[in-house]
A and B are shown apart, each in its own frame.
Chain A
Amino acid sequence: MNLEKVVFGFFIILAMTLNFGFVFGDIHNPAHHHVYELFFAIIVNLIATVLKFGERTQIGAIHLASSLVADLGLLSAAWVWTAAVYIDGTGLTPDITASIVSLSAGALAANILSVIMLLVETVMFRR
């Protein structure tokens, strides 16, 4: 067993689960989507991205790309949230909540892809 692989797998799966936890719930209801979940999802995603830096294989490149996509989705969700609450002052209306959640759902898709690739890589790994 390789500790590096454990850490790598841990962060990728954690990124997906946290992301899923945030997205899960009624898309229009702000009470179902807690800000801390989004915060941790972003932090763990960023760490997962950094862990994927410098992989030169083809699968490593796709890994990094999917992580970057997830970061983009989650950071845009956070930005929409900030803009709605502090800049516009609209507040978390059902519409705004829906767009925040759908942006992070997009990120979730990328994260699921990451996990699938992790599994594929593991299954293909023979010695």
Chain B
Amino acid sequence: MHNTLFMILRRMRVPLIFLILSYAIALLGMTLIPGVDARGQPAPPMDFFHAFYVVSYTATTIGFGELPGTFSDAQRAWMTATIYMTVIVWLYSIGSILKLVQDPTLLHAAQRNRFAAKVNRLRQPFYLIAGCGETGTLLMHALDSRNQQAVVLDIDPDRIGALELGQYHLNIPALTADASLPENLLTAGLNHPLCAGVIALTNDDRANLSVAITTKLLRPGLPALCRADTVETAANMTSFGTDEVIIAFDVFGEHLALAVTSPGHHLLYEWLTGVPGDPLTEPLEPPLGKWVVCGYGRFGKAITHHLQQVGIELVVVEAMPEETECDNCIVGSGTEAHTLLEAGIQQAVGIVAGTDDDVNNLSIVMTAHQLNPDLFTVLRQNRHANEPLFKRFQANVTMQPSSILAHEFLSLLTTPLLSRFFTLIRAHDDAWADVLISRIAAVLEHSVPEVWDVELSSSHTEAIWEAMRDGAPVSLQALIRNPTDRDVELTCIPLLLKRGASETLMPEPETLLQIGDRLLFCGTRQARNLQALGLYNFNVLSYLRTGKDAPGGKAWRLLERLGNKVPPPETRSPEQS
């Protein structure tokens, strides 16, 4: 605020001085030049009061005529000079103001101030996102639909403009600024007590690196999640304690391998990390057998690495084998039929078009499709702008690095329990995942669920804490039944129960809960809201538990307890006292 004000004042100095001087000269003249009275006789000059009046209206409007009385010729001559002088000075001043208003430095300073004020006013935890390209935008949409606040920095004004036009429920502060400068991160609330984490998503590895360093130096305790494009950057980031580093292409390859070997796990992952409300994606069933991978760049390498790990036979096609250090591959871009035939496309079950050129990728899969119509096609899409082409082709899998990254970050951000959940389900086979998928699909009616966790404690879930303090057993049933009719189940599924070090996947409804338990649920938004009633409201909880309504307020409950001769607890939790 102050910066812009000072800037305006500073720039307005010269025009203001000219204005004061022109008024002073005009005033002075009018108080010195003799006037004329009604009979044409010379009269004394005007006094300051009337001179100020005349000059004021003349300077701004070129006059209402000769007020208060007729002017003498000398006064008219002076008025003529005054008009030209003051009009020119006014034009100059107004011109300066207009120029100032359009000044890019000033506009930017004003935007920055508004942004900083918005960030300061935030009263809920927020994530600081550096870079809102395709990944950032997806991530923000997902965070927004989970009602989580974000603050955004991006170096490209067009992206910030697009963000302002985007449909968000929350008001997301955004600023055009270079995130690699610590000052900008501080403006964006790095030191704000409610900043919950920093996410670096720019397409520049150096910038992501400097965001990570800045965060770790200025707020060592704050989680920093970074995207890295090369393994070296990733290693560098991990070396100084960046909490999570995601290498886009690596994650990409891992997911394709997961999709090929255990489609159930992959689908679960897609569902639980999607944008709530979006339609659920269909399950994939990539065939096992020989695959052809076109393009051995960073993407191709990651894919071959992960596919080979799960024991899939691969043929690599690469146009420049020397540059990409591809020892054992077929030379060619893959867009011509003969290269593909050489790679054995007719015996293959799947093809991955993974070059960094969208048009080439499309050409590869179209040629391959003509040679072998039963191929399972995996397409890499580099640019979001090519979406219509990729939609039209309808490959079995279209992989966009941006959306994969966004899913990965979301699974880390939504709740720490979710990434635990994914780790734990790896131990189970695909059939287990399929059972879970059919359960989720039955409950959720075709849209991506919300995922949330519940911590049982006196501050988070008062009703449950109170019930347990009174010695009443509370089972998981109470959290998955509808508070309006306890015979109806809520449209949500408990995924994980974490009690101390022990973790239970898919806990049974009869499980008795304890204070300190953490539960992960997925379900509809409505279910989440209804569940919350039972967590915070003692009466609702008691209905859910016993089917009977408990006496109303705290005082009645106290009386009831005294009547039942139940001794009140000796010690209360420190949070309550």
Q: Which residues on A are within 8 Å of B, measured CB to CB?
A: 35-36, 39, 43, 46-47, 50-51, 53-54, 56, 78, 82, 85-86
Please determine whether A46 and B49 come into contact, CB atoms closer than 8 angstroms. Answer: no
Interface-lining segment among B5-13, B255-263, B562-570: B5-13
**B27 adjacent to chain A (CB < 8 Å):** yes
Distance in angstroms from B148 CB to nearest chain A CB is: 38
**Distance, CA A82 to CA B6, complexed state (A):** 34
Q: Does B24 contact A (CB under 8 A)?
A: yes
Residues of chain A contacted by B11 (CB below 8 angstroms):
54
- Do A54 and B7 have beta carbons less than 8 Å apart? yes
Inter-subunit contact A56/B20 (CB<8 Å): no
Known A39-B27, A82-B49, A86-B49: A47·B21 in contact at CB below 8 Å? yes
- Does B155 make an interface contact (CB < 8 A)? no
Question: Contacts A47-B20, A50-B17: A39 and B6 contacting too (C-beta < 8 A)?
Answer: no
With a CB–CB cut-off of 8 A, which chain B residues contact A82? 48-49
Which residues of chain A are within 8 angstroms of B399 by Cβ–Cβ distance? none
Are B28 and A85 neighbours in the complex by a CB distance under 8 Å? Answer: no
3 closest cross-chain pairs (CB), A and B: A54-B10, A53-B9, A43-B24
Interface of B is mostly: helix
Across the interface, which residues of B come within 8 angstroms of A36, CB to CB? 31
A35 to B48, CA, bound (A): 8
Known contacts A35-B48, A39-B48; A54/B20 CB under 8 A: no
Identify which of A47, A53, A82 gathers the most chain B CB atoms within 10 Å of its CB.
Answer: A53
The answer to whether B28 and A54 have CB atoms under 8 Å apart is: no
Where chain A touches its partner, the secondary structure class is helix
Chain A residues whose CB sits within 8 angstroms of the CB of B13 once the complex forms? 50-51, 53-54
Q: Which residues of A contact B28 (CB under 8 A)?
A: 39
Q: Residues of A contacting B7 with CB < 8 Å? A: 54
Which one, B16, B31, B49, contacts A50 given CB within 8 A? Answer: B16
Known pairs A39-B27, A50-B13, A54-B13; list 5 more (Cβ under 8 Å): A39-B31, A50-B12, A50-B16, A53-B9, A53-B13
Inter-chain contact B24/A53, CB cutoff 8 Å: no
Within 8 Å CB of A51, what residues of B? 13, 17
User: Considering the chains assembled together, what is the distance between the CA atoms of A46 and B17 in angstroms?
Assistant: 8
Indicate if the CB atoms of B49 and A56 lie closer than 8 Å. Answer: no
| Contact present for A56 and B17 (CB under 8 Å) | no
Please, could you name 18 A-B residue pairs with CB atoms under 8 Å apart, sorted by A? A39-B24, A39-B28, A39-B31, A43-B20, A43-B21, A43-B24, A47-B17, A50-B16, A50-B17, A51-B17, A53-B13, A54-B7, A54-B9, A54-B10, A56-B6, A82-B49, A85-B47, A86-B49
Q: Is the CB of A85 within 8 A of B49?
A: yes
Chain B residues with Cβ below 8 Å from A35 are: 47-48
8 Å CB interface, B1-47 against A: 6-7, 9-13, 16-17, 20-21, 24, 27-28, 31, 47
A125 nearest CB across to chain B (Å): 21
Residues from chain A with a CB closer than 8 A to the CB of B17 are: 47, 50-51
- Given contacts A56-B6, A85-B49, A86-B49, whether A50 and B20 have CB atoms under 8 Å apart is yes
Residues of B within 8 A of A39 (CB): 24, 27-28, 31, 48
A54 to B17 Cα, complex, angstroms: 14
The interface residues of chain A lying within 8 Å CB-to-CB of B27 are 39
B507–chain A nearest beta-carbon distance, Å: 61
Nearest-CB distance from A74 to chain B (Å)? 13
Assess A53 versus B12: contact at CB under 8 Å? Given A39-B27, A39-B28.
yes
Distance in angstroms between the alpha carbons of A35 and B47 in the assembled complex:
9
Interchain CB contact (< 8 A) of B20 among A46, A53, A78, A86: A46
A36 to B31, CA, bound (A): 9
Please judge, given known A-B contacts A35-B48, A82-B49, A85-B49, whether A53 and B10 are in contact too, CB under 8 Å.
yes
On chain B, the residues within 8 Å of A78 by CB distance are 48
| Nearest B residue (CB) for A86 | B49
Query: Of A35, A46, A78, A82, which is in contact with the most chain B CB atoms at under 10 Å from its CB?
Result: A46
A47 / chain B contacts, CB cutoff of 8 Å: 17, 20-21
Alpha-carbon separation in the docked complex, A82 to B51 (Å): 12
- Please give the distance in Å from B424's CB to the nearest CB on chain A: 57
A87 to B: closest C-beta gap in Å = 9
Q: In the complex the two chains form, what is the Cα distance from A117 to B10 in whole Å?
A: 20
- Identify the interface centre among B21, B28, B31, B49: most chain A CB within 10 Å of its CB: B49
Contact partners of A46 in chain B: CB under 8 A = 20
Residues of the A chain whose Cβ atoms lie less than 8 Å from the Cβ of B6: 54, 56
Q: What's the minimum C-beta distance from B398 to chain A, rounded to whole angstroms?
A: 55
Which residue of chain B has the shortest Cβ distance to A82 in the bound complex? Answer: B49
Distance A43 CA – B24 CA, assembled complex (angstroms): 7
Docked complex Cα distance between A86 and B48 (Å) = 11
